Structure 1
Amino acid sequence: MKFRIVTESCCDLPYSVLENEHVHVIPMVVTVDGKEYIDDSGKTFNSQWLMEEVQAGKPASTSQVNVGSYLEMFKSLIKEDSTPVIYLGFSSGLSGSFNNAMTAVNMLEDEYINVPITLVDTKQASLGEGLLVDKLVSLRNEGKTVEEAVAVIKQLSKRVQSWVTVDDLKHLERGGRVSKTAAAVGTLINIKPILIVTEEGKLESNSKTRGRKKAITKIADETRTNISVADTDKIFIAYAGDLEAAEVVKEKLSDLNVPIEMYPMGPTIACHTGFGGLAVFSIRK
């Protein structure tokens, strides 16, 4: 093994996959109705339960990973042996977590002579980040060096396409992404936004449709139109509570002959989309 891999639970890959592939995971903290829970990638935390709580009107939020959590993880790895570490981080355009990771490494460099940790801002969220973690696992298993693997990941991170829709505009309103008036009017006339993650790693509106069915079709069609089948090892679908919608998207893309994996959307994004959040990730042309 030429390097170790570290990421956060907001990559939305399940605990079973991360554990099996020896990926070190820093958990996010989720607050539901004033009580804190640890997002351990599904080992004990239940994403479906979270969506039920959100549907019941319980306030839910996540907070960025603090410097101490990064210090604890990074220090434990570099003290164990000299194997290099590659950390794939949640988009700096959506969270301050990556900046905290940089601060932690700077602090370690004041303490240790050798800190073999490479930080990569994926500029992605949810399974968009997970897609890159999955690719990095493959590169590690193929015996690539840190330099070779990081070069591939940085190139691919610019080409991850994320097509996202939500079913409830109220959650976007709470997050400040749409105004109260726009949310009220949009809800009244059944508008469903189509969102993307930009190259800067920010979540932005791309277009809108009228009705859930058209929104689901839209994100599947956009994925199909822009995908590079040759460069996409897997298509990932993240869903917030609505497995049936994810199955519809999977069926619409099944003829591409690219493996498709579906996982529950973790709380970092699902808290902002609410029940019915749906996202498709692949590599674009």
Structure 2
Amino acid sequence: MFQIMTDSCCDLPAARLAELDVAYIPMLIELDGKEYIDDMGKEFDTEWFLGKLKEHAQPTTSQINVGRYMEYFRPYVEAGTPVLYLGFSSGMSGSFQSAVQAVALLKEEYKEVAITLIDTRSASLGEGFLVAEAAQQKVQGRSLLEVSQWVEENKLRLDSWVTVDDLKQLERGGRISKTAAAIGGLLNVKPIITVDTAGKLRSVDRVRGRNKAIQKIVDQTIANLHESKTNTVYFANAGDAEAAEKVIKRLTEKVPDIIIHHYPLGPTISSHTGYGCLALFSFGKARLEQA
């Protein structure tokens, strides 16, 4: 028996993670001088937070440090329970490297440290998709080695198509310049974003208007669907229920038997994307190579 563990950037709700028997390490968010725990919806008021984002609040997030990883890993080490940790992309955060350092320090304390770390090179429900697949394989009786090998072999087939409505958040995060944000706002330009093989966000296109952006991310998702997972997608949105309904409608029109796992975009990720972000995740044919 082994324990699958992840972090709150996977955006699977706490109730779903409990069903899957997946443990998680929460990220921390600071807003208006107060620190909050991203507990996957257990107590944190996601609707309140999305309302703050809609009002252009500017939360900040902090990566999981070495000490917190050691705190969460230690009980499993002491119990002799192997751990498979699926972490937030190293291309977007330094958290995964902190996990690597934490395991190295634990190995100085304990004779046996059975912790396998996998950099998913994904975020939000892209990471969550891999976590859910891994958990289901565990239920089917596959070993830690078999599950970890499957994740490593398939993680770069995990496709991400994202658009945002609030260019100011991308500007604040250094993703685009102030000039680009200002011009984009005036012209109603919406970026089309994907995740490359290094696990980094890449802006690959720009379209005029929200409806065209929705059409683009849906069509790109469908065009790249892999034969083995042709009817399964994960969909996250940061508020804007009307836009989310349009995404679901277009998906079901294009692929009538599609299975859509739809959850809110978590507060850690939405802190960087802003209100109105729409993100689709599926197993695709080929991920964009890193720049």
TM-score by length of 1: 0.96
Which ranges of structure 2 fall in alignment gaps of 5 or more residues?
Answer: 286-291
Q: 1:117-196 alignment to 2 at 5 Å?
A: 117-196=115-194
Match of 2:289 in 1: none
Tell me which residue corresponds to 2:61.
62
Q: Deviation at 1:55?
A: 2.1
- Equivalence for 1:17: 16
1:259 & 1:222 partners in 2: Cα distance?
A: 17
- Aligned counterparts of 2:277 and 2:221: Cα–Cα separation in 1: 16
Corresponding residue number in structure 2 for 1:86: 84
State the 1:140 CA deviation. 0.5
Does structure 1 retain, via aligned residues, the 8 Å contact 2:231–2:257? no
Provide the residue aligned with 2:39 in structure 1.
40
Q: Take 1:113 and 1:31, find their aligned partners in 2: how far apart are those partners? A: 38
- Determine the C-alpha separation between the residues in 2 that align with 1:259 and 1:39: 27
1:101-125 deviations in whole A, cap 9, x for unaligned?
Answer: 0111001100111101000000000
String of CA shifts for 1:103-160, please: whole Å, max 9, x gaps. 1100110011110100000000000000000001011001111111111111111101
Deviates more, 1:221-230 or 1:275-284: 221-230
Report the Cα offset of residue 61 of structure 1.
Answer: 1.5
Q: Aligned-residue CA RMSD in angstroms? A: 1.2
Contact 1:160 1:282 in 2 (8 A): yes
Once residues 228 and 150 of structure 1 are traced to their aligned partners in structure 2, the CA distance between those partners, rounded to angstroms, is 20
Alpha-carbon distance in 2 for matches of 1:277, 1:217: 14
Distance 1:190 1:200, change over 3 A: same
Q: 2:202 aligns with which of 197, 201, 204?
A: 204
- Mapped partners of 1:258, 1:141: distance in 2: 24
SS at match of 1:282: strand
Tell me, yes or no, if structure 1 residue 234 matches structure 2 residue 235.
no
Is 1:247 the counterpart of 2:221? The answer is: no
> What corresponds to 2:283 in structure 1?
283
Offset at residue 258 of structure 1 (A): 3.2
Q: Does 1:266 align with 2:277?
A: no
Q: Which amino acid aligns with 2:144?
A: V
Counterpart AA for 2:120: T
Partner AA of 2:5 in structure 1? V
Q: Normalising by structure 2, what TM-score?
A: 0.94
Mark the runs of 5 or more structure 1 residues left unpaired by the alignment: none
Equivalents in 1 of 2:90, 2:2: separation in Å?
23
Give the superposition deviation at 1:172: 0.7
CA offsets 1:65-120 (integer angstroms, 9 cap, x no match): 1111110111011212x231100000000000000001110011001111010000
Q: Report the alpha carbon displacement of residue 230 of structure 1 after superposing the two structures with TM.
A: 1.8
Distance 2:16 2:270 in 1: 20
CA contact (8 A) 1:6 1:86 kept: yes
Percent identity among equivalent residues? Answer: 50
Is this contact kept in 1: 2:2–2:83, CA < 8 A? yes
Of 94, 97, 100, which aligns to 2:95?
97
Could you say what secondary structure the match of 1:257 adopts?
coil
Would the alpha carbon gap of residues 48 and 169 (structure 1) be closer, same or farther in structure 2, given more than 3 Å must change? same
- Amino acid in the other structure paired with 2:73: F
